Amino acid sequence: MVILIATVTRFGHIEPGAQSRLAIQRMEDRAMPHTVLIADDDPPILDLVGQVLMEEGYHVRFAGDGLAALEMALADRPDLILSDLMMPRLDGLTLAARLREQCPAVPVILMSAARPPLAGAAIDFIAKPFSIPHLVAAVAGALATVAAL
């Protein structure tokens, strides 16, 4: 499904906006949208990141903690996991390590306001607060890296 956003000029002509042309190109570049599982115990972060990634054309699933994310990933493997570092029941670093053992092809990007981990199973780290363009670039880059392997 493609949603076209257009501008109607004062002369009645319909002109696609620059953002809609870009969105259409992104959608054409992907035959099947990638699925991103977002794990965070902070609902506003889940909402923000989910909205941004949906606008970029990704399918998005949500988990409120690390254990729920692990169970969801094992039941229906996503293309990427974007996880908070500090969460209840299972932290992001442990989640990434367990996924590396059970689903090694699934990249994990960790996010946190805390200091980034020195080593681990994550493919990238995003410091909170983050910029939207950086978030989008990190997700696209991680998926491109896995696709190239």
Segment 48-79, tens digit of pLDDT: 999 999 999 999 999 999 999 999 999 999 99
pLDDT tens-digit series, residues 102-116: 998 899 999 998 877
pLDDT at 48: 96
**Which of the 8 DSSP states describes residue 61?**
E
Contact at 8 Å (CB) between 78 and 35?
yes
Check: CB of residue 61 under 8 Å from CB of residue 78: yes
- Asked if residue 49 and residue 22 are part of one domain, the reply reads no
What is the percent of the chain with per-residue pLDDT over 70, rounded to a whole number?
74
Helical segments of the chain, H only: 18-29, 43-55, 66-75, 92-102, 132-148
Task: Say yes or no: 8 and 55 in one domain.
Answer: no
In the chain, how many domains are there? 2
Q: Given this model, what pLDDT does residue 147 score?
A: 80
| pLDDT tens string 112-146 | 988 776 556 667 889 999 999 999 999 999 999 88
Q: If you compute the radius of gyration of the chain from its CA atoms, what whole number of angstroms results?
A: 17
What's the half-sphere exposure (Cβ side, CA atoms, 13 Å) at 117? 21
Residues 108 and 75 in one domain: yes
Q: 85, 111 in Cβ contact below 8 A? A: yes
Q: Which domain holds residue 104?
A: 33-148
In this structure, the answer to whether residues 80 and 101 fall within a common structural domain is yes
- Identify whether residues 68 and 101 lie together within a single domain: yes
